[in-house]
Structure 1
């Protein structure tokens, strides 16, 4: 079962609306996408594939609302986020259930995602501190200089399917607290959780109508956002190819852009690594959310002699073989479905091709029942992957772990650094010396030691290096405040001062 385009309703299932100007309105779209539960195949909603007209309506409402919002005191904007945080907290379970139904995650995984999103709101609540400027008096005779931080204006976020709650909340609170209006274009594949977030924003009286908008669509909506002269900045998360496209097209239009792309994250396993910890962290990283995470460890780089490598591999195989695949709604499920049946078919083709190329399938997820939604794929482990094979170099975005064998830590770091990506690299070792060398030499934006997913908390920046990002500023942390503000430097001399009356000038 794959995503289906329709032009006319075929059932009485509801068609999603836009949220513009504080009201739910119909899209101008004449085509729709069916949003289905990946586990059961149930049709949940029809998603309008809007374009320029829908985006323009949202921009006009946002422009109007932002004029007053930028004049709202920063502490008042921060208090609005306090209210939003409380509303989201009261609806944690509901939001998680929407993620399970629309994206397919297990409930525990979805609940953790919601918690991470709420942490971003909590981090943004400190905006009054981060918006403070700087000043230096007396830089010349009677001359002072000040730096002010002001909002960018109207900002838009284009978010992916794999974190339908967390990633919108990476951007929305930081944009609002800094004085901007915000337009969200969630993934057309699972927009129900984002829809509910916008509904909950509407319950916060301190956030004016029109300040937050929701539009739906695919490429046409994305292009409309990138091209619209009324949008000043764009935040994006998705594949590396699309991130480069978004960054190029938006910057050609003079927009500020942060575009976070894909990953191929290596997990380096030293011979002295703690066995139980390493195995549990590796399978959690590789197969949690069915591997559909930019922070997923998709390569296990085993260091040492063949005997040591075999011992490490056996730990991984034993742990992966115990995982159960199935619908996210089943509390016994470890590996949830991928986003749709088409994604499963693509991943099975990748595994088939690897096997034909002589790579050994030591844990075969293809044997798992595809399920009612046709999207289940079990945990898969591929041993003997050549360093230049697609399994080692390309982001497959599924529950597929490739195994690379090397002799030394230096070899492992060299392999990881050769990737065109640079999102995350992990080391499993009990050696402080190995950990220090790894920290110093690994070329990635987010490193982990003895943790399978090195995702920083929201008070720190989230972003990779190289092809994993097309931007100078990451999401969250100090970068979140910096991205959504512009710096204005003011140099002043007031008339009537004794220095000015005496004709004193600037002396540098």
Structure 2
């Protein structure tokens, strides 16, 4: 993203808030969603109330700058470099995001470090009650969050609601921390000696978030991390930070003390600072391959615990006996929904035998009927991609696939919805006759594109998928139980769906992507997430009972090594 340089001090002119822009878009689209009174409160706290024509990027005369959250206060950055925050459906600049300074980042870390001293000793039930109140506030402000996600990220309102809801589920799960984080104890491991293990928080931990789930992914991270006693430094995507700031305000209203959560903005420099800072004990990352590998390597080299969710090439396998209508609907939504910008989107479908000719045209016909438009438009099925660069990359991979021999059954390139001609739109696209050696198959397209491959048997389909380096998710569509059992047993992918297109586990389980899609030992949320944010401490204790007569040992235990000679 090109950096826009902003010089001088802003004027005192009152600015139109991002939420005002969102409200105008809602009205323009005749959407039934309305913003409540909270919108202006959040807007005023997390967005700058001042700007001027000589400081706004891209020639925009009146846009706010996004604030940071440091030590319980939304503060404006002193940075000189900003990136534009745009609505992907219109390219309208609705704000600018600061690339925060090294000192501002240091302030955030030190705030979290100081807050940890008292937060770690706050009773676990009290920490859980904060999350209980937090989930209540998310529910109360659900529509405002969804509209913000739609405006900044481009998702349809339905997809944006799903984004918020799946994050909300993790907050609800965090309320169970008192139960899932209990330790272990064994008494009398030796004469009068007890040993017990407890889980303790790590300290200051950090999260680096992607653009594609601006509400859900932050909620994968800090609710669980903070409930077990850590403090958190969050870096949301600079492309859509609004939801993170709204959620942070709700968390503080729910009772999260100042400093427990801090939010900074930036790009490469801040990511490297997170990896290198000696006071940050662990990093949660979700994003692309290059950045994910970099964060894992640099973070672990600095002695940190790292969990890194990265790229994917999720396959669906369709057997000839699959239910036609249900399978067609499932695959269409799984590859085109959210404009294909989901780490669990189905981007490759392997059709076995006769299924190849029976399903592909039906999927293309179904996708043709999807409405592609601005995310807040009523009835919209597919919104814009996040940026012109993302759109160009996806279109380039489509062209490369055709050049290498793929047949384009449905071509969504060049589509411009009425009223959104400047948006980053790519309509659903279906390629067939794709082979594993083609570029469009080997690379993650991250757009509404389905690559269709053919296999002669279920075994061949399994071998195709297992040969792919990624291991995030896969699905099988069939009515044959034996085939399903073979598939789930032999497939080398971390998350498997049977007649389920996007098998994302609920938070009582964990998000278990594997192989090239994940680096680390402990996955996100669920029990594994709790384990990632805590460390074991084992205590062995002996309290001599000098004034109490010794308890006699049971007969028959002499000589079995229960204690050292002479210590019976």
Please, what TM-score do these two structures have when normalized by structure 2?
0.86
Task: Spell out, residue by residue over 1:306-350, the C-alpha distance to the aligned partner (whole angstroms, 9 max, x if none).
Answer: xx3111212211211211211111122211100011211111111
Give the deviation of 1:367 after TM superposition: 3.9
Tell me the equivalent position of 2:349: 300
Alignment of 1:250-265 (within 5 A): 250-265=299-314
Could you tell me which of 27, 44, 67 is aligned with 1:17?
67
What does the per-residue CA deviation read over 1:461-507, in whole Å, with 9 as the maximum and x for residues that have no partner?
013111111111111110111111110001111123666999x9963
Report the equivalent of 2:502: 453
Are 1:38 and 2:38 matched, yes or no? Answer: no
SS of residue paired to 1:365: coil
Partners of 1:500 and 1:33 in 2: CA distance: 72
Cα distance in 2, alignment partners of residues 95 and 4 from structure 1? 27
Instruction: Give the Cα separation in 2 of the matches to 1:235 and 1:156.
Output: 6
Question: How many angstroms apart in 2 are the aligned matches of 1:316 and 1:445?
Answer: 26
Q: Deviations over 1:212-248 (max 9, x none)?
A: 1110011111111111111111100001221111011
Note if contact 1:51-1:220 (Cα within 8 Å) is conserved in structure 2: no
Between the aligned partners of 1:421 and 1:214, the Cα distance in structure 2 is 31
- Give the Cα separation in 1 of the matches to 2:444 and 2:181: 37
Secondary structure at the counterpart of residue 184 of structure 1 = strand
Kindly provide the CA deviation profile for residues 53-77 of structure 1, in whole angstroms up to 9, marking residues without a partner as x: 2221101111111110111110111
**Matched-pair contact (CA < 8 Å) for 1:142–1:500:** no
| RMSD (Å) for aligned C-alpha atoms | 1.8
Aligned-pair distance for 1:388?
Answer: 1.4
Q: Contact 1:247–1:257 (CA<8 Å) still a contact in 2?
A: yes
Matched, 1:311 2:358: yes
Range with greater deviation from structure 2 (339-348 or 101-110): 339-348
Count of matched residue positions in the alignment of Structure 1 and Structure 2: 503
CA shift for structure 1 position 3: 5.8
Distance 1:90 1:152 in 2: 32
The answer for the alignment partner of 1:147 in structure 2 is 197
Unaligned runs of 5+ in 1: none
Give the drift of 1:52. 2.6
Kept after mapping to 1: 8 A contact 2:400/2:440: no
Q: Which residue of 2 aligns with 1:7?
A: 6
Give the TM-score normalised by the residue count of structure 1: 0.96
> What CA distance in whole angstroms lies between the structure 2 residues aligned with 1:275 and 1:445?
26
Counterpart in the other structure of 1:138: 188
Aligned to 2:123: 73
Structure with greater Cα Rg: 2
Q: Distance in 1 between matches of 2:115 and 2:510?
A: 29
CA shift for structure 1 position 392: 1.6
Unaligned 5+ runs, structure 2: 8-54, 554-558
CA contact (8 A) 2:404 2:438 kept: no
Q: C-alpha separation between the residues in 1 aligned to 2:541 and 2:459?
A: 55
- Distance in structure 1 (CA, Å) of the matches to 2:334 and 2:88: 21
1:3·1:35 contact (CA, 8 Å) conserved in 2? no
Q: CA deviation at 1:45?
A: 0.8
1:127 maps to which residue? 177
1:141–1:506 Cα contact (<8 Å) kept: yes
* Equivalent in the alignment of 1:330: 377
Q: What is the rounded CA distance, in whole Å, between the counterparts of 1:324 and 1:337 in structure 2? A: 11
Inter-partner Cα distance in structure 1 for 2:5 and 2:406: 41
Tell me how far apart the structure 2 counterparts of residues 474 and 296 of structure 1 sit (CA, whole Å): 19
